Structure 1
Amino acid sequence: MANAAWSDKMLQLLRRMNNFYSPGSCRASCCRFEIAGQQVGWIRPQFASVLSRYPEVFSPPQAGAISLCQGLDSYGSRSEAVDAVLQTVRQEASLSCLRGWRDEKYEVMPRFCDPPLMWMERAATSLFGVKRYGVHINGYTVHESGELSMWLARRSPTKQTYPGLLDNLAAGGLAAGIGIKRTLVKECEEEACIPEALAETAQPVSTVSYTYEDEEGVFPESQFVFDLELPPDFKPRIGDGEVQDFYLLPIDKVKELLVTDEFKPNCAMVVLDFLIRHSFIEPDTEPFYQEFITGLHQTL
């Protein structure tokens, strides 16, 4: 049977990463964020009061929703108007997430398959509770014995978020105008010095989706997950400095590390998905198997 303490810790991690759905979360007090009549996010009351100072961009809350003003009717006009507000308020102490301004544009749309309605600075997305997308790559090696080991990265101690924690082999957010496969190749090259030809052999296998809230806002996220089998003699190398080291570890060790404070939480979810898909976690021996599956695929 599964280790009960391990299973409990993993279940707690999944609950933390989906705490926006929990009783007592801020969800009940949030306004929907709508553009052209379509919901694209969630705005908490504290931030709604900031937006009320800009009635030329944001309409007053109505029927539980805050909308962009009707005159902002194009991708460009919406993006520029919202960005101008954010540039004005980014120094306010209460908006701590904007201190991490990245000059990265993220698309805003109701669903991934919908045309984007505007772009928004990455650091601001949690204030509006808009969905963010990323690409995560599980790197692994199959030894001659048939045993499988996984490559993990340790984040640089200077990273803006989760410094020094364990991470997937490579990962990155999906910036406006850049496709999923292109992001995968770019992140593999930049973070782990994986040649393009090898990176392109990665297989799309899953998405991992969750929504959590913390002091910086609401984070609905969905990660496009790829598995990349690397030759036994290949070793990733540090590229752009976002990673301080790489480790090739047996699956039992990876599994053990998943529920420790050493692992970046959403990356632990991506590895959990890998363990389930590769039958390292099975329903006969893991009592929370269904809860794990549900916790990895929560969508609004």
Structure 2
Amino acid sequence: MSDTVLTAIAAGLAERSPFDPAAHLRLTIEGRHIGWLPRAHAALIAHASGPASGPVLGPEQHGAVALLPGCSDFAQRAAALATLARTLAEAGHVRGWRDELFAVTPALDAPPYAVIERAAARFLGLLTFASHMNGVIAGERALWISRRSPTKATDPGMWDNLVAGGMPHGSHPLETLIRECDEESGIPPALAARAEAHGVIEVLREIPEGVQWEHVFVYDLALPADFVPYNRDGEVAEHRRIAPAALLAIMADRAMTVDATLVTLDALRRRGWTGDAD
């Protein structure tokens, strides 16, 4: 039974994670790879109004294209990208405006080249960062998970890790996690700070908005048996206390987001709980 469930989960992940490099351009700034721009989106913005110093995109060279090749500093690029994001939103190509800035960067520890409105990041296929946390109930073979609000811009109504959040410009993985713990599940900062880091999972897949290229920082937090999470920011519809077998069934039914499925499987495998589907 467990092999059947795990096979179904793997098949679901594969089907929900297509990526054809030939359909994308490597997006660069100063020769550094910062994104996977869909060719269809490149065609949409090729003639968009760029900064006074030049076009939004340079010419294609060996499957790569430079973003804002005429810009030379952070402020100039950020201003140009703010204009581009607003233009795309007004044309209906970008939805779910957040008024939140993401870094435009080749790596978390690299100085960012610019910032951009979060809603536009996946249209351009930019590398983004997120923190996800498995809420493990201390002394039990059980976890807490959350269901995303039906009004969320992405993956509405789907199951998620207990806490999950994108990393805005100027933040770092644990800081992001502590903030999201408080907002999404009512976990106080002192408890959230005890979360254990378990590496990074890379997600690269085509999605309706463009491309999700994300480095997901994985955390586990042992929660007291009597702790009950509660949402404070309206982004979570419900929380559920769940045993591994039922959780594996949710993942097999593709009712959990792709990134949360990967993070949850990581936790279950580390604990030897994937056999609970038997």
TM-score with structure 2 setting the length? 0.90
Alignment of 1:40 onto 2:34 = yes
Matched to 1:131, the amino acid is: L
Indicate the percent of aligned positions where both proteins have the same amino acid. Answer: 33
Alignment of 1:244 onto 2:240 = no
What's 1:191 paired with? Answer: 184
What's 2:55 paired with? Answer: 57
SS at match of 2:95: helix
Alignment of 1:166 onto 2:159 = yes
Distance 1:79 1:62, change over 3 A: same
Distance 1:201 1:86, change over 3 A: same
Distance 1:64 1:262, change over 3 A: closer
> By how many angstroms is 1:200 displaced?
0.7
SS at match of 1:99: coil
Matching of residues 3-14 of structure 1 within 5 Å: 3-14=2-13
- More deviation in 272-281 or 187-196? 272-281
Summarize deviations over 1:138-176 as a string: whole Å, max 9, x none: 111133xxx321001122222222222211111100000
What's 2:261 paired with? Answer: 268
> By how many angstroms is 1:119 displaced?
1.1
> By how many angstroms is 1:205 displaced?
1.2
> By how many angstroms is 1:267 displaced?
0.9
In structure 2, the gaps of 5 or more residues are none
- Contact between 2:128 and 2:214, CA under 8 Å: does it hold in 1? yes
Summarize deviations over 1:71-127 as a string: whole Å, max 9, x none: 31111111111221221232224x2xx122212111121122322111111111122
What's 1:297 paired with? Answer: none
CA distance in 1, matches of 2:15, 2:150: 24
CA distance in 1, matches of 2:174, 2:191: 13
Matched to 2:89, the amino acid is: R
- More deviation in 222-231 or 10-19? 10-19
Summarize deviations over 1:242-288 as a string: whole Å, max 9, x none: 11221111222212222113222221111001011112247xx99xx
SS at match of 2:90: coil
Matched to 1:104, the amino acid is: E
Alignment of 1:138 onto 2:134 = yes
Matched to 2:129, the amino acid is: Y
RMSD between aligned residues: 2.0
Of 92, 99, 105, which aligns to 2:95? 99
CA distance in 2, matches of 1:86, 1:185: 29
Distance 1:243 1:103, change over 3 A: same
What's 1:259 paired with? Answer: 252
SS at match of 1:186: helix
SS at match of 1:241: coil
SS at match of 1:148: coil
> By how many angstroms is 1:187 displaced?
0.4
- Contact between 1:17 and 1:210, CA under 8 Å: does it hold in 2? no
CA distance in 2, matches of 1:111, 1:238: 31
SS at match of 2:241: strand
- Contact between 1:201 and 1:228, CA under 8 Å: does it hold in 2? yes
Matched to 2:12, the amino acid is: L
Summarize deviations over 1:42-93 as a string: whole Å, max 9, x none: 2222222222214623223233322134431111111111221221232224
Matched to 2:237, the amino acid is: Q
Of 118, 123, 132, which aligns to 2:119? 123
SS at match of 2:240: strand
TM-score with structure 1 setting the length? 0.84
Matching of residues 223-242 of structure 1 within 5 Å: 223-242=216-235
> By how many angstroms is 1:17 displaced?
4.6
Matched to 1:38, the amino acid is: R
In structure 1, the gaps of 5 or more residues are 287-300
- More deviation in 134-143 or 258-267? 258-267
Summarize deviations over 1:12-58 as a string: whole Å, max 9, x none: 123135421xxxx2x21322211011121122222222222146232
Matching of residues 272-287 of structure 1 within 5 Å: 272-281=265-274
